[in-house]
Amino acid sequence: MGLASSALAGLMLAVPALLAADLPRGQVIERVEVTGNERHSYALYLPSNYAPERKWPLLVCLDPGARGKVPVERFAAAAEKHGFIVVGSNNSRNGPMAVSAEAIMVLTEELPRRFAIDENRRFACGLSGGSRVALSWAQAANLNGVVANAAAFGPGGLPKQRPFAIFAVAGRDDFNYHELYAMALDLGQRGWPVRFAEFEGGHEWLPAAQAEEALQFLSGELKPQTPPDAKEERKMSDRFARMTAELAGADEGSQKSIIGSWKKQAEKPEGRVARQALAWAFIRSVEEGRQLLASRKFLEAAQMADIAVLVRPEAPNAWMAVAEAQAGLGDKKRARSALDKAAELGFRDPDRMAALRERLGR
C-alpha cells in the first residue's frame, strides 16, 4: 500500500505540540495541539513529500460537530496527490459564532508559524453550518476559494465583492441541495468561478471522489462549470419548499400525519424530495428543540423531540432530547425510558447522560 492508501485506511495518531519537522507525513494525525494553547487542536494531513523549503497550498476544514479528523480523512488521498496541507479544526462547531471565530483566529496564528503556506493558495472547507462559516471567512479574509459542502451563504445572501472560487457539493438527498444548486447557478451566471458537484447521499461530508474533484478545481486543473438552469430542478425545489412550509404550519397531530406520508413516499425510487424533507424535519426538530430546552420551554421541546424520534427512531440524540424534555416536564418514567433507549443506541456523551441519571434519581 502507498502512503495515500495508508491515509485512507484511517491511520491516526494523537500527537502533542511538536515542531512541523517532527510531525509524521503521509498519514492522518487525529490531534495536534496548538502551540501554547492546549484547549485548541486540529487534525492534520501533511503530504509525504512535505518540506518547508517551498510553499504549500492549505485547506482548513470546519465540521459542524468539531470532528476535525472526518474531513481530513476524506481529503487525504487527494491532498497527497495534489500536494495540499489539510487541517480540520477540533474546536469549530455549530452554535455560537464566537466559538468558530476563536477557532479560526487561533488557526490563522498557528498554521503560518508551523508550516510553509502559500499565501496565494489558502482555502477553506465546511459542512453545513461549517460551510456557511467558511464562506463568510473567505469574504472577510480574502481566501482564494471554498469547498461549500451542504450549505450556501448564510444571512445576508450572496456577496457582491471580489469573486473567489467555490466548489459547491451536496448529496442528492440533502435538504440543502436546492439552496446550493441555486447559489452555484446564480454566482456562475454572474461570472464567479464556480463548480457544482453532487453525490449519492444526504447531509454529510463529500466522498473521496468529490474531494479529488474539489482539489483539482482549486488547483486550476478543472474549469468552472455552472450547473444548468434546469426545469426539473426548479420543480423539485418548489415542491420541497411547499412540503416544508406545510409541516412548519401544521399542528402537532397533523405534523405526525404528514411525516407518515413522507416516509411512505421516501421508500420509492422517485421519493427524493420526500427524503430531503424528512432530513430537514429531523434537523429542524433537533435544533429548535435544543433552543427550546435552553429556554426551559419543556412542552414545546418535548413536541419537537417526538417529531425527531418519529422521523429517525434509530437516532440516539433524538431519544436523548426526549429524555431531557420529559425530565423538564417532571415525567421521570418517560425520561428514564428514553434515556435507556439513547444509551442502547449508542449516545456518545457519557457525562451528559450521567448528569441526567443523577437528576432523575439513579
**Which of 218, 197, 193, 224 is CA-nearest to residue 82?**
218
Q: What pLDDT shows up at residue 361?
A: 85
Residue 167 inside a domain? The answer is yes
Same domain, 184 and 266: no
The residue from 194, 218, 242 where one domain ends is: 218
Same domain, 35 and 161: yes
Residue 225 inside a domain? The answer is no
CATH label of the domain that carries residue 348: 1.25.40.10
**Alpha helices (H) in the chain, listed in sequence order:** 3-8, 69-82, 97-114, 129-141, 177-189, 208-218, 231-248, 252-266, 272-294, 298-311, 316-329, 332-344, 350-360
- The enclosing H or E element of 187 equals helix 177-189
Question: For the chain, what is the domain count?
Answer: 2
How many CB atoms within 10 Å of residue 145?
24
The residue from 192, 218, 244 where one domain ends is: 218
Same domain, 130 and 195: yes
Same domain, 162 and 254: no
Same domain, 47 and 151: yes
Residue 223 inside a domain? The answer is no
Residue 16 inside a domain? The answer is yes
Same domain, 307 and 344: yes
Q: Where are the beta strands (DSSP E) in the chain?
A: 12-15, 28-34, 37-45, 56-62, 85-89, 117-127, 145-149, 165-171, 194-199
- The string of pLDDT tens digits covering residues 152-185 is 998 777 777 778 999 999 999 999 999 999 999 9
Residue 303 inside a domain? The answer is yes
Q: What angle do CA 119, 125, 128 make, to 5 degrees?
A: 155
**What is the arithmetic mean of pLDDT over 132-136?**
95
CA 196 to chain CA centroid, nearest Å? 17
Q: Percentage of the chain surpassing pLDDT 90? A: 87
Q: Identify the band that residue 56 occupies on the pLDDT scale cut at 50, 70 and 90.
A: very high
Residue 224 inside a domain? The answer is no
Q: Identify the band that residue 19 occupies on the pLDDT scale cut at 50, 70 and 90.
A: low
Q: Percentage of the chain surpassing pLDDT 70? A: 94
Q: Identify the band that residue 96 occupies on the pLDDT scale cut at 50, 70 and 90.
A: confident
Q: Identify the band that residue 3 occupies on the pLDDT scale cut at 50, 70 and 90.
A: very low
Same domain, 152 and 43: yes
Same domain, 32 and 71: yes
Same domain, 214 and 284: no
Q: What pLDDT shows up at residue 21?
A: 61
The residue from 186, 218, 250 where one domain ends is: 218
Count of alpha carbons within 13 Å of 8, Cβ hemisphere only?
15
Cell digits for 105?
Answer: 483566529
Residue 173 inside a domain? The answer is yes
Average pLDDT, the chain: 91
Structural domain range at position 71:
3-218
Same domain, 192 and 48: yes
CATH label of the domain that carries residue 104: 3.40.50.1820
Residue 18 inside a domain? The answer is yes
Same domain, 114 and 249: no
Do 149 and 88 contact (CB within 8 A), yes or no?
Answer: no
How many CB atoms within 10 Å of residue 251?
9
CA gap 155, 120 in Å, rounded: 28
Q: What pLDDT shows up at residue 1?
A: 37
- The enclosing H or E element of 224 equals none
Q: Identify the band that residue 22 occupies on the pLDDT scale cut at 50, 70 and 90.
A: confident
**What is the arithmetic mean of pLDDT over 341-355?**
93
Same domain, 149 and 286: no
Q: How much is the pTM?
A: 0.88
- The string of pLDDT tens digits covering residues 201-233 is 999 999 999 999 999 999 999 999 999 999 999
CA gap 141, 60 in Å, rounded: 13
